[in-house]
Amino acid sequence: MNRFEDLATPGVCGLQPYQPGKPIEELQREYGVSDIVKLASNENPLGPGPRVREALANGLDELARYPDGNGFALKQALSARHGVDVAQITLGNGSSDVLEFVVRVFVQPGDEVLFSEHAFAMYPIVTRAAGAKAVVAPARDWGHDLEAMQALITDRTRVIFVANPNNPTGTWLHGDELRAFVAAVPENVIVVIDEAYFEYASDPALGAAGYPDASRWLGDFPNLVVTRTFSKAHGLAGLRVGYSLSHADLANLLNRIRPPFNVNSLALLAAEAALADEEHVRQAVHLNVEEMARVTDAVTEMGLEFIPSVGNFVSIDVGGDAASVYDALLRQGVIVRPVANYGMPRHLRVTLGLQEDNERFLAALRKVLA
């Protein structure tokens, strides 16, 4: 028993901490294995590009100073990129930070927050931490069932989270259906469309024809919030920087609770450089397309099923209890992600790495399942 639980808010008492992918150093410590491949956190295997490295080197001289609390230069670049006003942007310490701001601004204890079964694990955490009720719509074919979600909107619903594509399923929604859903949501309910994997999903080669850029709809829906991150295709997960785009009045509220220095100075510089380096993102996306084909072809050959994904990861049905397969893979130095906590006890989510990483994973999986 935790001696402070009586004092904590009820929402916090019911929480389990977010389970991140196992760090490489931890596997080394616990299992004594070396030469480890980590395919567990949807990180970009290429890392950041050369322009980011250069920006970071230049930023070292300014580390004694506080960061620009308004992120002026990064916001200018984002404003130009998205064709939005600077006042529509809210910067986050990762986009998860912004998801939390939305709940803290709009949700009180007893209110409802709606999202889908198998959706991103931060949604229930930020909801319950606010003392709100998580309303979970059943999934259809592992993805969001927008009809089921619409049917669950009540007069207590304050926020709806939609991940497009979703993590850990990789499923995605077509622009027509998603736009119709947003249009049907009452204007006093905030709809967050989480586009953490936008760069991957919007590449035509991955097959998501009709995948939308929801930021284009901001002019039509003042209750819409679109989140993006530098953690995935831009390769900056370790620096923590993401943002939302919304109506300026909504952004104004989010910025009232945003800690002034939530994005550090190196992250601001790196994000600005990463945004400008479109070639590096193209390379990451191109690699992802090739490796998606390699991994899904190979698992199909092994007789396994997977959920078709437009992210930089794929969830594979390992044909039984995935926990033991996860553990056996760890012993071979391959870290993937168990997703039982997402209601998917038969699946493992595998991030697409470099070709040699993915081949290590496939060889280890063949051995484990043999």
**Amino acid (1-letter code) at residue 57:** A
Q: Is 96 in the site for ligand PLP (CB under 6 A)?
A: yes
* Shorter beta-carbon distance to ligand PLP: residue 263 or 325: 263
Residue 190: name the closest of 166, 214, 224 by CA: 224
C-alpha to C-alpha distance for 247 and 231, rounded to whole angstroms: 24
Output 128 or 232, the one with its CB closest to ligand PLP: 232
CA dihedral 370, 352, 160, 124 (to 10 degrees): 60
Count of CB atoms within 10 A of residue 60's CB?
Answer: 10
Please say which residue, 42 or 332, places its beta carbon nearer to ligand PLP: 42
Determine the straight-line distance between the first and last CA of the chain, rounded to whole angstroms: 42
196 binds ligand PLP (CB under 6 A): yes
214 near ligand PLP (CB under 6 A): no
Q: Which of 301, 333, 300 is nearest to 314 (CA)?
A: 300
For residue 219, give the nearest of 195, 271, 183 by alpha carbon.
Answer: 183
Q: Does 163 bind ligand PLP (CB under 6 A)?
A: yes
- Strand, coil or helix: what is 365? helix
Distance CA 98, CA 282 (A): 26
The distance of closest approach from Cβ of residue 167 to ligand PLP in the complex, given in angstroms and rounded to an integer, is 3
Shortest distance (Å) from residue 110 CB to ligand PLP: 26
Rounded to whole angstroms, what are the CA distances from 206 to 48, 210, 306, 310? 22, 12, 15, 6
Q: Does 95 bind ligand PLP (CB under 6 A)?
A: yes
Is residue 242 near ligand PLP by the rule CB under 6 A? Answer: yes
Pick 98 or 182: Cβ nearer ligand PLP: 98
By CB under 6 A, residue 116 contacts ligand PLP: no
Interface with ligand PLP, residue 231, by CB under 6 A? yes
Interface with ligand PLP: number of residues (CB under 6 A): 14
Least distance to ligand PLP, CB of residue 210, Å: 20
Q: Are strands 305-307 and 242-246 parallel, antiparallel or unpaired?
A: unpaired
**Would you tell me the crossing angle of helices 278-301 and 265-276 to the nearest 10 degrees?**
80
* C-beta closer to ligand PLP: residue 251 or 362: 251
Q: Which stretch binds ligand PLP (CB under 6 A): 110-118, 229-237, 255-263, 286-294?
A: 229-237
Closest residue (Cβ) to ligand PLP? 94
Tell me if 194 contacts ligand PLP by CB under 6 A: yes
Which positions touch ligand PLP (CB under 6 A)? 42, 94-96, 120, 163, 167, 194, 196, 229, 231-232, 237, 242
